[in-house]
């Protein structure tokens, strides 16, 4: 009988034991470090103004860490890499200490694109755990678009979408969604992508005939895949989806490139690690919400902007100059074409800084004067702080906050300055429509009938306006009449006639938009959209016009104060559209001798308060042809940037506002009176 052989001891066992012990200690030491970090966070939290990030301290930590590592025979590069992770995590711990968010009283729902185990789902889980202690439910959706629909529809509280990758660059579909939909960026996450090759349990690498993955992942592992002879690449919708699909194949001939987590969660074997061409591969994700959030002022923040410039020489340089003058570091700039206006671009810009800090808020205010469209997409904690940069935290102030909330009226009223002398600067970014310039140094005449009545009528009116020196044609197609029985306008047909008349005489056309539903048709036919006095308080309409890419003439409501007019303008500006022209058209007072009382003083008052161009409508203020010319002259003398005046080829036949419509002769007379005033002001008739 044989005695069982005593197993020979593996000489590696004690060494492995030592490694396991060291690992355990590493974990304990890290936990100890992070615990101390949290305590530091607590102390910082107690001070409402002390910045969270102490770059000097981080620099010292790094120096001694590298020195210690080298004295132990470790490479400096390796030590720095480990420290980067440790410091990032430490910073995030302190940030989450400060950022304690109130729960919603229920689980927070976050959506991402992909299936379980996708890089997006890992990034979402990590970010949400850092942001809040509240219970979070994370759900995968098939497409980016579906995430956005679920978010806007209220099914989700947040959506986390990848916006750029350190190798592949910008993710266009996500940028497009952010641009087109009403989304706000409230946080970001940087997630390291580490691909592995995974296969069916037990199947060897040599059995592989094809490898599935997202096309970007296949490209990122190009060199490795080329080394696998005879193995085909199969593009798949998503890396984790590819991992899941491997199980459905009967044999072990299909592998997937995915994250280690995805491989583990689908029970796959890991066949190879470190397979990507680039060592560092990171994806930047944006956390999107339905409404903006204001981050704690002590956090180092980023502000994301979207702007469109007018097509003038040097406009991009000017806009970037405003940012650089504020001392704000630009971390990303990207342009996106606009299909509806070929060769014009939207710019996505990320800058370091809190949107409510004095410097950045000031820059945003100034940017408004040189952009046709400007939207603050969000201000959120920056997760990409570089250790090599010294950061001076520009703390937000209550005054700066006002700048964001009410950009329009914020320019400080100049003390007792003469009218016109102290206007906030608009000269550099004056609004141009066709050949006309609205703003400092110019005077514009818009004229035409109250309503478009027929093609011959509006064509004749256009001829009249052109002959008189007018440069834009007005005409209502949708009329807001006091009586429901009065002529309501020709609607869509009127828009077509107006456009045709404008085309024949090379006059950009202005027409009123009454409802949100009419916006697309009016945008398609008109060069300038008018919001009538009765609609100045229609905030839903104003908000929608904030998203439109056409200039808007905003008329003062009949009983609106100057401040209310400016706040109404703010609704349009806040939505992004910076091309707003204010219009004084008379207000309702006890006086009944005129249709309304023209508030001439509003012109110099507005000039003090805003960079927006100001025009005057003497027609609706007067309601009487004979009074229109003197009021027009008064408006010009008061410093208006232009006039909008009703004129009709045959006023006696006009279907609407016939009493106030100027004749051809009146129009010529008015222009003759205006020219010397405009010239005396040193303005160009444009």
Instruction: Tell whether residue 620 is a contact of ligand PEP (CB under 6 A).
Output: yes
237 is known as an active-site residue: no
**Is position 491 an interface residue for ligand PEP (rule: CB under 6 A)?**
no
Closer to ligand PEP by Cβ: residue 429 or 476: 476
Q: Is 532 in the site for ligand PEP (CB under 6 A)?
A: yes
Site string for ligand PEP, 17-46 (x = CB under 6 A): ------------------------------
Binder of Mn ion out of 52, 657, 661, 662 (CB under 5 A)? 657
For ligand PEP, give the closer residue by CB, 423 or 620. Answer: 620
Output the six-digit token pair for 370. Answer: 């040189």
Contact 472, 444 (CB under 8 A): yes
Cα-based torsion angle of the residue sequence 102, 108, 114, 118 in order, rounded to the nearest 10 degrees: 60
Report the residue closest to ligand PEP, judged by CB: 532
Residue (318 or 555) nearer to ligand PEP, CB: 555
Residue 535 or 579: the one with the smaller Cβ distance to ligand PEP is: 535
Nearer to Mn ion by Cβ, of 450 and 569: the residue is 450
Q: For residue 480, state whether it binds ligand PEP (rule: CB under 6 A).
A: yes
- Angle at CA of residue 124, ends 120 and 130, nearest 5°: 145
533: partner contacted, choices ligand PEP, Mn ion, none (Cβ within 5-8 A by kind): ligand PEP
Closest separation in Å from C-beta 492 to Mn ion: 20
- Residue 685 host element (H or E): strand 684-685
Taking CB under 6 A as the binding criterion, the range among 44-52, 74-82, 216-224, 532-540 that sits at the site for ligand PEP is 532-540
Longest dimension (CA), the chain: 131
648 is a contact residue toward ligand PEP (CB under 6 A):
no
Near ligand PEP in 541-560, by CB under 6 A: 555
The residue whose two tokens read 């979408």 is 161
We find the least distance from the C-beta atom of residue 335 to ligand PEP, in angstroms, to be: 37
Task: Say how far apart CA 661 and CA 670 lie, in whole Å.
Answer: 12
Query: Is 283 an annotated catalytic residue?
Result: yes
Give the one entry of ligand PEP, Mn ion, none that residue 508 binds, where binding means its C-beta sits below a cut-off of 5 to 8 angstroms depending on kind.
none
Question: What is the dihedral angle through the alpha carbons of 342, 507, 311, 332, rounded to the nearest 10 degrees?
Answer: -70
Q: What DSSP designation does 187 have?
A: E
| 184 binding partner (options ligand PEP, Mn ion, none; Cβ < 5 to 8 Å by kind) | none
Query: In the window 435-454, what residues touch Mn ion (CB under 5 A)?
Result: 450
Min dist CB 452 to ligand PEP, Å, is 11
375 binds, among ligand PEP, Mn ion, none (CB under 5 to 8 A by kind): none
Name all contacts of 96-102 with Cβ < 8 Å and 24+ positions apart. Answer: 96/130, 96/131, 97/38, 97/41, 97/42, 97/44, 97/45, 98/41, 98/44, 98/45, 98/52, 98/296, 98/298, 98/299, 99/131, 99/295, 99/296, 99/299, 99/381, 100/132, 100/133, 101/131, 101/132, 101/134
Catalytic hit among 55, 283, 369, 437 = 283
Q: Which is nearer to Mn ion, 94 or 457 (CB)?
A: 457
Catalytic residue selected from 144, 285, 347, 443 = 285
- Angle, helices 76-98 vs 119-131, to 10°: value is 50
State both tokens at 102. Answer: 């109130």
Q: Which is nearer to Mn ion, 450 or 472 (CB)?
A: 450
Helices (H), 266-304: none
Compute how many residues bind ligand PEP; rule: CB under 6 A. Answer: 11
Q: Which stretch binds Mn ion (CB under 5 A): 290-298, 552-560, 656-664, 672-680?
A: 656-664
The CB-of-235 to ligand PEP minimum distance in angstroms stands at 56
Q: Which residues neighbour 579 within 8 Å (Cβ) at sequence distance 6 or greater? A: 372, 373, 431, 550, 551, 552
User: Cα(419)–Cα(614) distance, rounded to whole angstroms?
Assistant: 13
Best CA proximity match to 360, nearest among 335, 379, 332: 379
- The residues, ordered by sequence, that sit 6+ positions from 27 with a Cβ below 8 Å of its Cβ are none
CB of 598 to ligand PEP, least distance (A): 11
CA torsion through residues 179, 185, 191, 196, sign: negative
Q: In what order do the strands lie in the sheet with 210-213?
A: 232-235, 210-213, 254-259, 195-199, 269-273
CA 622 to CA 312: how far, in whole Å?
38
495 binds, among ligand PEP, Mn ion, none (CB under 5 to 8 A by kind): none
Other C-beta atoms lying within 10 Å of the C-beta of residue 684: 12
Please count the residues of this chain forming the interface with Mn ion, following the rule CB under 5 A.
2
Half-sphere exposure of 490 (CA within 13 A, CB side): 19
Under 8 Å between Cβ of 609 and 366: no
Q: Which is nearer to Mn ion, 450 or 635 (CB)?
A: 450
Task: Mark the segment that binds ligand PEP (CB under 6 A) among 240-248, 254-262, 294-302, 530-538.
Answer: 530-538
Task: Give the tokens for residue 411.
Answer: 């320019």
Nearer to Mn ion by C-beta: 288 or 531?
Answer: 531
450 binds ligand PEP (CB under 6 A): yes
The correct pick among 373, 585, 595, 608 for binding ligand PEP (CB under 6 A) is: 585
Judged by CB under 6 A, the chain residues 204 through 263 that form the site for ligand PEP are none
Q: Is 533 in the site for ligand PEP (CB under 6 A)?
A: yes
Is there binding between residue 476 and ligand PEP (CB under 6 A)?
yes
Both tokens of 555, joined, read: 């008329």
CB of 459 to ligand PEP, least distance (A): 19
Stretch that binds ligand PEP, among 385-393, 433-441, 529-537, 603-611 (CB under 6 A): 529-537
User: Cα 440–603–582 angle (5° rounding)?
Assistant: 75
Task: Decide the pairing of beta strands 472-474 and 195-199.
Answer: unpaired
Q: From ligand PEP, Mn ion, none, which one binds at residue 52 (CB under 5 to 8 Å depending on kind)?
A: none
Note the residues at the interface with Mn ion (CB under 5 A).
450, 657
Q: Give catalytic residue positions.
A: 283, 285
Note the residues at the interface with ligand PEP (CB under 6 A).
450, 476, 480, 512, 532-534, 555, 585, 617, 620
């Amino acid at each position: 009988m044989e005695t069982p052989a005593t197993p020979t001891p593996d000489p590696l066992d004690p060494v492995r034991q030592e490694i396991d012990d060291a690992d355990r200690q590493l974990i304990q030491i890290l936990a100890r470090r992070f615990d101390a970090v949290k305590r530091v966070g607590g102390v910082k939290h107690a001070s409402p103004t002390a910045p969270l990030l102490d770059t000097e301290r981080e620099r010292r930590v790094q120096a001694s860490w590298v020195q210690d590592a080298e004295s132990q025979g470790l490479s400096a590069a390796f030590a720095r890499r480990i420290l980067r992770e440790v410091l990032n995590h430490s910073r995030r711990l302190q940030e989450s200490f400060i950022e304690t968010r109130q729960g919603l009283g229920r689980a927070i729902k976050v959506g991402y694109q992909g299936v379980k185990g996708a890089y997006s789902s890992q990034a979402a889980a990590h970010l949400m755990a850092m942001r809040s202690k509240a219970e979070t439910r994370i759900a995968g959706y098939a497409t980016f678009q579906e995430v956005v629909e679920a978010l806007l529809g209220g099914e989700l509280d947040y959506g986390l979408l990848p916006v750029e990758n350190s190798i592949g660059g910008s993710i266009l579909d996500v940028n497009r969604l952010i641009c087109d939909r009403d989304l706000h960026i409230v946080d970001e996450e940087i997630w390291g992508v580490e691909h592995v090759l995974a296969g069916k349990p037990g199947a060897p690498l040599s059995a592989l005939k094809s490898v599935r993955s997202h096309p970007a992942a296949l490209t990122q592992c190009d060199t490795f895949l080329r080394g696998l002879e005879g193995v085909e690449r199969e593009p798949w919708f998503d890396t984790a989806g590819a991992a899941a699909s491997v199980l459905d194949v009967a044999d072990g001939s299909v592998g997937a490139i995915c994250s280690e987590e995805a491989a583990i969660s689908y029970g796959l074997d890991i066949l190879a690690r470190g397979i990507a061409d680039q060592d560092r591969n990171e994806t930047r994700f944006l956390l999107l919400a339905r409404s903006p959030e204001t981050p704690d002022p002590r956090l180092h923040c980023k502000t994301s902007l979207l702007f469109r410039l007018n097509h003038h020489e040097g406009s991009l340089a000017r806009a970037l100059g405003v940012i650089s003058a504020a001392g704000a570091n630009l971390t990303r700039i990207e342009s996106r074409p606009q299909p509806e206006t070929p060769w014009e671009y939207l710019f996505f810009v990320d800058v370091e800084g809190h949107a409510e800090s004095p410097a950045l808020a000031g820059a945003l205010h100034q940017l408004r004067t040189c952009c046709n469209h400007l939207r603050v997409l969000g201000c959120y904690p920056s997760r990409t702080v570089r250790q090599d940069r010294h950061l001076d935290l520009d703390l937000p102030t209550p005054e700066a906050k006002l700048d964001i909330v009410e950009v329009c009226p914020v320019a400080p009223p100049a003390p007792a300055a003469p009218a016109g002398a102290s206007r906030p600067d608009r000269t550099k970014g004056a609004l141009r429509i066709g050949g006309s310039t609205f703003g400092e140094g110019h005077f514009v005449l818009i004229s035409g009938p109250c309503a478009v009545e027929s093609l011959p009528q509006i064509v004749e009116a256009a001829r009249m306006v052109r002959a008189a020196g007018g440069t834009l044609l007005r005409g209502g197609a949708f009329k807001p009449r006091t009586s429901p029985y009065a002529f309501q306008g020709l609607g869509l047909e009127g828009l077509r006639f107006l456009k045709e008349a404008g085309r024949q005489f090379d006059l950009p056309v202005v027409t009123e938009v009454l409802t949100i539903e009419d916006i697309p048709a009016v945008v398609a036919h008109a060069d300038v959209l008018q919001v009538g006095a009765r609609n100045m308080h229609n905030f839903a309409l104003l908000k929608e016009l904030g998203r439109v890419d056409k200039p808007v003439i905003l008329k003062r409501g009949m009983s609106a104060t100057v401040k209310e007019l400016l706040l109404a303008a703010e609704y349009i500006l806040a939505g992004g559209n910076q091309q707003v022209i204010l219009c004084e058209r008379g207000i309702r007072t006890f006086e009944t001798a005129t249709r309304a009382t023209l508030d001439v003083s509003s012109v110099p008052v507005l000039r003090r308060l805003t960079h927006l161009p100001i025009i005057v409508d003497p027609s609706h203020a007067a309601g009487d042809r004979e009074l229109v010319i003197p009021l027009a002259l008064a408006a010009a003398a008061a410093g208006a940037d232009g006039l909008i005046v009703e004129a009709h080829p045959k006023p006696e036949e006009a279907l609407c506002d016939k009493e106030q419509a100027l004749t051809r002769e009146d129009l010529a007379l008015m222009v003759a009176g205006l020219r010397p005033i405009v010239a005396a002001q040193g303005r160009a008739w444009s």
